[in-house]
């Protein structure tokens, strides 16, 4: 088993993985199971940015979900949060837990700290892992929470998810109803960022005209389902290459799996792939135009507008999770 630490910086932009170093899992006694531990992703978080669209929208939290035999438990370590911010965070946790099944608790390090003016939040996994026991696919990276679930144990003592929220903003809405004009819904932002940490993210990046979709030679479970408008898997392009960069900035990238098609009326899910690569936003989000405010699938788009609340992951996100190991 191999792990890679993932530097995460997520706002409502795609989560981008920045490979740093590769090292064996310290003190990992897996009784014959030797998972690969990925590079730290803590500096390559996906980012959610403040949008500028005018208008209000409200998509409520899902109705009661049938209890799972092993519904997930999410434990959060808070730093810098007010009581109202913590309450909103916990509501987002309460939404995710019954939608996930895992016997291994999911741990989150959440920090409320100053950030760039346009940022709302950022998040990602501490590490990515491959070739652990019961991995969904071989030679494929998975975030901490999925790897732990599949392996049936905590593979590393570090928090599974690193999440940061912008304390510099004075326009947060921490309530339970619809946010008013000029206020950003904190619960929606938390729900979004937890989504990145739980696995809604890919490893693709574009730098100096070269596109890449692998870390240490391997793609992620998310990457294995992405394709261009013609149905060609992005993992089939040379890596790194200008051809792959062109695909990633083509405005024509999709997530395709049987579960996603079933959840989306027989169609693939369109991803955010603007002509200019946006680190932290491109590729690891759903397309903003296709799934705009008020759409039940709008949670994992790269922008959240003021007076917009989306309190449910939506069927596409749940189908992506079902395709990638949850």
Q: By CB neighbour count within 10 A (0-12 exposed, 13-18 middle, 19+ buried), where does 144 fall?
A: buried
Give the C-alpha separation, 103 to 72, whole Å.
7
Task: Give, in degrees to the nearest 5, the angle at Cα 222 between 34 and 50.
Answer: 125
Residue 41, strand partner residues: 7
Tens of pLDDT, residue by residue over 78-129, are 999 999 999 999 999 999 999 999 999 999 999 999 999 999 999 999 999 9
pLDDT bucket at 32, cuts 50 / 70 / 90: very low
CA end-to-end distance (rounded Å), the chain: 19
Give the C-alpha separation, 52 to 40, whole Å.
33
Residues 234/244, Cβ–Cβ less than 8 Å: yes
According to DSSP, residue 77 is labeled E
pLDDT bucket at 37, cuts 50 / 70 / 90: confident
CB-based contacts of 27: which residues, under 8 Å, 6+ apart? Answer: none
Rg from Cα positions in the chain? 18
Give the C-alpha separation, 256 to 110, whole Å.
32
When pLDDT is averaged across residues 241-246 and rounded to a whole number, the result is: 99
Residues 164/196, Cβ–Cβ less than 8 Å: no
Q: CB count, 10 Å around CB of 254?
A: 19
Q: CB count, 10 Å around CB of 11?
A: 32
Collapsed DSSP state (helix, strand, coil) of residue 71: strand
> What predicted TM-score, i.e. pTM, was given to this entire model?
0.91
Give the C-alpha separation, 143 to 84, whole Å.
29
pLDDT at 16: 30
Residues 74/91, Cβ–Cβ less than 8 Å: no
């Amino acid at each position: 088993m191999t792990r890679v630490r993932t530097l995460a910086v997520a706002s409502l932009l795609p989560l981008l993985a920045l490979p740093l170093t590769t090292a064996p899992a310290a003190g990992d006694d897996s009784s014959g199971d030797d998972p690969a531990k990925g590079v730290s992703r803590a500096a390559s978080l996906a980012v959610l940015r403040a949008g500028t669209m005018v208008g209000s929208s409200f998509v409520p939290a899902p109705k009661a979900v049938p209890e799972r035999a092993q519904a997930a438990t999410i434990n959060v370590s808070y730093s810098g949060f007010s009581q109202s911010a913590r309450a909103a965070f916990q509501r987002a946790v309460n939404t995710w837990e019954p939608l996930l099944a895992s016997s291994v608790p999911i741990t989150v390090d959440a920090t409320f700290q100053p950030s760039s003016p346009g940022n709302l939040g950022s998040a990602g996994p501490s590490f990515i892992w491959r070739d652990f026991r019961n991995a969904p696919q071989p030679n494929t990276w998975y975030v901490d929470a999925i790897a732990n679930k599949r392996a049936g144990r905590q593979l590393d003592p570090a928090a599974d998810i690193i999440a940061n929220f912008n304390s510099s903003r004075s326009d947060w809405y921490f309530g339970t109803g619809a946010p008013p004009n000029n206020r950003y819904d904190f619960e929606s932002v938390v729900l979004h960022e937890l989504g990145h940490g739980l696995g809604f993210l890919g490893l693709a990046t574009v730098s100096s005209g070269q596109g890449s979709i692998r870390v240490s030679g391997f793609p992620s479970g998310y990457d294995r389902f992405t394709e261009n408008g013609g149905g060609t898997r992005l993992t089939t392009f040379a890596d790194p290459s200008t051809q792959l960069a062109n695909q990633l900035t083509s405005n024509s990238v999709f997530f395709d799996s049987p579960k996603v098609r079933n959840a989306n009326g027989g169609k693939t899910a369109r991803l955010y792939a603007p002509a200019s690569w946006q680190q932290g936003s491109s590729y690891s989000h759903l397309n903003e135009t296709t799934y705009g405010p008020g759409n039940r699938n709008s949670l994992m788009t790269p922008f959240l507008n003021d007076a917009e609340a989306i309190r449910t992951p939506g069927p596409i996100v749940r189908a992506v999770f079902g395709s990638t190991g949850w």
